[in-house]
Amino acid sequence: MSFRGGTAWRHLDTEREQLSLDLFWSTRKENPFRPDIMPVEELAPLSNFRSLRSLKLTGMLRSYQRHIWQTVWLNPGLEDLHLEMALEPCIRHTFCGSWPKIRGKWFPRTAVTVRGLYYGKDGRGELKRRVGFGEYLDKHAIGNAREAAAALGAVPDKLSVVKLTLMGFVVDSDPFFLWFNQHRLRSIDFKDHCVDAGFALPVRMSEHVIVSWPRDDNIPEAMWARQVRPGEIKLIDLGSRKTKATKNSDNKGGNKGKHTAPADDPCEGAAPKPTHNPSTLRKKSLNQLNDAETSSSTAPSTTRRVGALLNIGGRRFTRKKK
């Protein structure tokens, strides 16, 4: 269930150690004046938590890094940080940078010094418009959040995060050189739709930090969809048994003008033609004769015996003695 903010904060204990919130808001037509995306300031009460050890935020449709990193700074015991965006980043084709997606045959690199490049937008956690659209692991957003947290309480020099999980982020190397503690960070888990904008770990940090990413390179791409107006859909076939039985009965009812399988195929179409084997016919005629002799029916028999011959349907067969 999505977290609405507002009065919902009252039901959360600020002394809890684990917190997981789904910030995705579904669109509803009954209230057109309600925003479709959770406002940034609705997440401001997150900084009231001071005993967190695990923080998980999913379904984010915009950047909330200002409040997220302020909360991380104010919780020195926080070890597990899990951030998931609802949408993947979109990089402009006109941008000169060649940024691979973090999946498949991608492999992390190491670096000796910080690169000093910045692709964000004024510390907001977003990409510059000339680069594209999407969430950016912003070193300035982390630094600005530390200054804001220092006004509320004591903060450490480096982040205390041990395990970092990201989904839908554009990542470079600077935050790991500037803000993450090389003595505490142990795991970086990239989920789907992360982009490498120059990601690299310091040499000392790479010796004990495990980096994981999706190894399957065949991730299905997003497909276009449109809203269907009433009256457009005539039939929805869910492949139920009832639908299949109806189709079979329609095929048996009449196939005029339809293509049928050849008669010599016993699996499809008409039944196979019977084979005229004399021995088979002889056995059938004997069975018919025995049935005719034991039957008490008064109906005229179609089998006529002439001497030592047996006449059935215009054909004569010799009856063997038992």
Amino acid at 260: T
Pick from 13, 54, 21: nearest CA to 38: 21
Q: Which residues contact 24 (CB under 8 A, 6 or more apart)?
A: 2, 58, 59, 60, 61, 86
* Measured CA angle at 142 (ends 111, 22), to 5 deg: 110
Q: Are residues 69 and 190 in the same domain?
A: yes
Token pair, residue 292, equals 């005719």
Residues 135 and 47 in one domain: yes
Residue 172: φ, ψ to 5°: -120, -165
Q: Are residues 14 and 163 in the same domain?
A: yes
Tell me: do 309 and 198 sit in the same domain: no
Q: Model confidence over 151-191: pLDDT tens digits?
A: 998 999 999 999 999 999 999 999 999 999 999 999 999 99
Domain check: are 322 and 202 in the same one? no
Single-letter amino acid, residue 225: A
Q: How many domains does the chain have?
A: 2
Same-domain status, 16 and 162 = yes
113 falls within a domain:
yes
The pLDDT value recorded for residue 290 is 56
Please report whether residue 236 resides in a domain.
Answer: no
- The pTM of this model reads 0.67
E strand or H helix at 244: helix 241-253
Give yes or no: residues 320 and 201 share one domain.
Answer: no
262 within some domain: no
Let me know whether 67 and 183 are in one domain. Answer: yes
Q: In angstroms, rounded to a whole number, what is the distance separating the alpha carbons of residues 136 and 90?
A: 11
Residues 96 and 178 sit within 8 Å (Cβ to Cβ): no
pLDDT in single tens digits along all 322 residues of the chain: 578 888 999 999 999 999 999 999 876 655 665 667 899 999 999 999 999 999 999 999 999 999 999 999 999 999 999 999 999 999 998 887 789 999 999 999 999 999 899 999 999 999 999 999 999 999 999 999 999 999 998 999 999 999 999 999 999 999 999 999 999 999 999 999 999 999 999 999 999 999 999 998 665 555 556 677 777 777 777 776 655 555 555 555 555 444 444 444 444 444 444 555 555 555 555 566 556 555 544 444 444 554 555 666 566 666 555 5
Which of 97-110 are b and which e, b meaning 16 or more Cβ less than 10 Å from the residue's Cβ? eebebbbeebebee
Give the model's pLDDT for residue 15.
96
Among all chains, which residue has been given the structure tokens 């982020």?
Answer: 169
Q: Is residue 221 in a domain?
A: no
pLDDT in tens, 132-155: 999 999 999 999 999 999 999 899
Give me the domain span that covers residue 202.
6-212
281 in the same domain as 202: no
Pick the closest to residue 286 from 317, 245, 248 (CA basis).
317
Statement to judge: residues 74 and 185 lie in one domain: yes
Residue where a domain terminates, one of 212, 240, 267: 212
Please check whether residues 313 and 208 belong to one and the same domain.
Answer: no
Spatial distance between the Cα atoms of 193 and 213, rounded to a whole number of angstroms: 10
Q: Does some domain include residue 252?
A: no
